[in-house]
Structure 1
Amino acid sequence: MNLQYLRYAIEVENADSITKAAQNLFMSQPNLSKAIRELEQELGITIFRRTTRGVVPTRQGEEFLTYAKTIVSQVDELESLYHTKQSDIFSLTVSVPRATYLSVAFADYYNSLEAHGRVNIHFRETGSVNAIQDVSTKFSDFAVIRYEVIYESYFLSLLADKGLRHEPLREFEYLLMMSDQHPLSRYSEIPYHLLNGYTEIIHGDIQVPALSVSQIKPNAELKTPPKRIYVYDRGSQMDFLQRIDGTYMWVSPVPQSMLDRYHLVTRPCPNAKNKVRDVLIYQKNHFFHDVQRDLIQRLKSHLGEA
C-alpha cells in the first residue's frame, strides 16, 4: 500500500473536495482522482461518495481513514525522531595517544560546542598501532598517532599499506615527569644514569617501546635492570606518580596548569636522543565536518601552550 495515497485520502477528507484537495497538494485533480480510485480498488471498498456539497466518507471510508490517520501520524513521528537525531546530533570518534596536552585541548574544544547542537563523542586513548587500525576500519573518524623518529619508516609504511593520509601535528623530545617531591626533581636536567634504582611507569599497550636502549648514549647505561609499573589509563599514572615514591615517566610536554594541579614536574634528559612526532591520520576520502575541523584547529592551537 502506498503511504502517499493514505495522505491523499486524508487531505480529501479534510478539504471535502477532490478539486480543493488537489490544489492543496499542488497536483492535478485527475491525478488525485486516479490515486483515490487505485486505493479503493486495492482495498476493495469505496472511501468517498459524491454529494452536492462535495465528497464525504462512506461508513467503511470513515473506518479506513481512522486507521490511515493513525498510521500516517506514527510514520511522521518516526521520521521526526530520526531526522532530529541525524540533524541535531553529531557523532565523532577519535583515537589519540595518552597525552595531557591533547586531553586539555579536547576539553576546551568541547566547551565551545554549544553552537553545533548536540554532539556524541568517543575519545579513545590508545597506542599508535591500535589507532591506525581504528581509522582503517572506520571505527574512528580520525586519529593522532605518536612515534619516535627512528620508527618513522615503519609507521609511514604501515599508513601507506592501509591507504591512510597523514600530516604532522607536533615534534618534541620526551621529558621525564615525576612528583615535585621526587629526589631527582631538584635537578634542572636529569642524566640518564641517575634513574638507576627508580621505578618507571609505562603504558602497557604500547607496541613500540617509548625509549629504546639504542637511543641512550653509550656512557649512560643503568647499572641495574629497570623497575617498571605498566598502566593502561592516565588516571592511574597520575595517582602512581603522586603516591609511589621514586616513580617517573617519559612524556610529551605537559601544560603547566596540569603539572601544578597534580604537583608534578617535568625535566629534560640530555642523554636521551628521543625525538618524537605526533601525526594526524585519516582516510583518503574522509570529509571533515565543521565540528571535526574545529577540534583539529583546537589541537593545533594548543601545541605552543605546554
Structure 2
Amino acid sequence: MNEASHELYVSQPALSSAVKELENELGIQIFTRHSQGIDLTVEGAEFLTYAHQILDQIGLLERRYQQTKPRKQLCQVSTQHYMFTVEAFVEMISSSNAKEYEFTLRETQTRDIIDQVASLRSEIGIIYQSTFNRRVINKLLREKHLVFHPLFSCKPHVFIARSNPLAKLDEVTIKDLEPYPFLQYEQGNEGSFYYAEEPVWPDYSPRQITVSDRATMLNFIVGLNAYTVCTGIDNEDLNTEKITTIPLRSDETMLLGWISNEHAKLSPAAVLYLDKLKEVIQHHGYTIIE
C-alpha cells in the first residue's frame, strides 16, 4: 500500500480509505489485512481481472485516438478448435495492408468464447449449434446480448489416422468406433455436454481422453489410433499421409456460425476476417448461408 500510494501521489491513509469505500460500494472484500500487509481475497482476484480488462481498454482507446501516426489495426477472435478459422486468420493478415496491427486469435473453450465476446475482449466468436445444444446456447447468447450469424452447415465427420482400419470406409458409425479411444476438448469447470465441441459422442467409452489444444489432439489421433468428431473441413495440416476425415453416420447436423456483441460495431479488420472466413469455407466446398 505504501508503494502504491507513492505511485499514485496520494497519502497511504487516503489510498486505504479509497479502497475501503470501493469495497463498501461493491459489497465485496478485495483485501484481507493483517500485520504483515494485505492479501487478495478470491473476490479481490476476480475484481482485479475485470480491472485489468478496463485498463487494457483504456490503453487501446488512448493508442487509437491520441496518436497522430496511423492507427494500428485491431482484431481479436475467439474460436472453437477449427483449422479453417486459423486458415482464414492467416489470409486476413496476409491481405491486410496495415503497417502496424494487434491481432489475437484464441482457440478456447465454448463458454470462454461467449464470455470474451460479451465482455468485448473479442469482436468475433466462432461456435457451432446443433439440435442438441441449440436451446441452451441461444438462451445464453440472449442473456449476454450476443447475436449468432450462421455461416454454413455440415454433417459430422471423424478425424482418424490413415493407418486406422476404418480409414478405407466411405462412412463410419459410432459402433465402428467402439474399439478406439475417444478424444474430446476440455470445457473447464463449467464443462457441460451442451458446451462440447463434439456434436456426437459414444454413450459409453472405456477409453476417453480430454485435451485442451488442437496439436495434442492431432498427435493423439496418430500416436494412439484415437478419433474425434468435428466438421469435415481439413486443410494442409490434416491433408497428410497421417490423418484423414470420414463422414459419420448420424442424424445430427452442425450449424457453424459467428457471434458478435449486439452493442458493438465490427472493426475493418474484423470485417476483412469474416470475408476471408467465407472464402475459405467456400474453397473447402461448403455453401455460405446468406
Q: Provide TM-score, normalisation by structure 2.
A: 0.68
Alignment of 1:209-248 (within 5 A): 209=196, 210-211=198-199, 225-244=205-224, 246-248=225-227
Corresponding residue of 2:85: 102
Secondary structure in 1 matching 2:132: helix
Structure 1 position 256, deviation (Å): 4.6
Corresponding residue of 2:269: 291
Corresponding residue of 1:260: 239
Corresponding residue of 2:75: 92
Corresponding residue of 1:10: none
Structure 1 position 148, deviation (Å): 1.9
1:207-237 deviations in Å (ceiling 9; x for gaps): 3242456xxxxxxx77x73411111011111
Structure 1 position 305, deviation (Å): 2.5
**Larger RCO: 1 or 2 (CA < 8 Å, sep 6+):** 2
Superposition RMSD in Å: 2.5
Structure 1 position 82, deviation (Å): 5.8
Q: How many residues align?
A: 217
Which of 267, 270, 274 lines up with 2:252 in the alignment? 274
**Alignment check: 8 A CA contact 2:77 2:125 kept:** yes
Q: Which letter maps to 1:83?
A: Q
Q: Which has the larger radius of gyration?
A: 1
Structure 1 position 162, deviation (Å): 1.2
Structure 1 position 259, deviation (Å): 2.3
Which of 67, 81, 85 lines up with 1:83 in the alignment? 67
**Alignment check: 8 A CA contact 1:101 1:253 kept:** no
Secondary structure in 2 matching 1:123: strand
1:273-303 deviations in Å (ceiling 9; x for gaps): 2211222111113122221110011111111
- Judged with a 3 Å threshold, the aligned counterparts in structure 2 of structure 1 residues 119 and 150 are, in CA distance, closer, same or farther, namely same
Distance 2:122 2:199 in 1: 27
Structure 1 position 116, deviation (Å): 2.3
Structure with the larger helix share: 1
**Alignment check: 8 A CA contact 1:105 1:302 kept:** yes
Which of 131, 148, 168 lines up with 1:166 in the alignment? 148
**Alignment check: 8 A CA contact 2:172 2:247 kept:** yes
Query: How many percent of aligned residue pairs carry the same amino acid?
Result: 18
Corresponding residue of 2:41: none
Q: Which letter maps to 2:257?
A: V
Gaps of 5+ in 1: 1-77, 214-220
Q: Provide TM-score, normalisation by structure 1.
A: 0.65
**Alignment check: 8 A CA contact 1:91 1:121 kept:** yes
Secondary structure in 2 matching 1:130: helix
Structure 1 position 153, deviation (Å): 1.8
Runs ≥4 residues deviating over 4 A: none
Corresponding residue of 1:129: 111
Distance 2:241 2:260 in 1: 33
Q: Which letter maps to 1:293?
A: V
Secondary structure in 2 matching 1:190: coil
Distance 1:199 1:110 in 2: 37
Structure 1 position 262, deviation (Å): 6.1
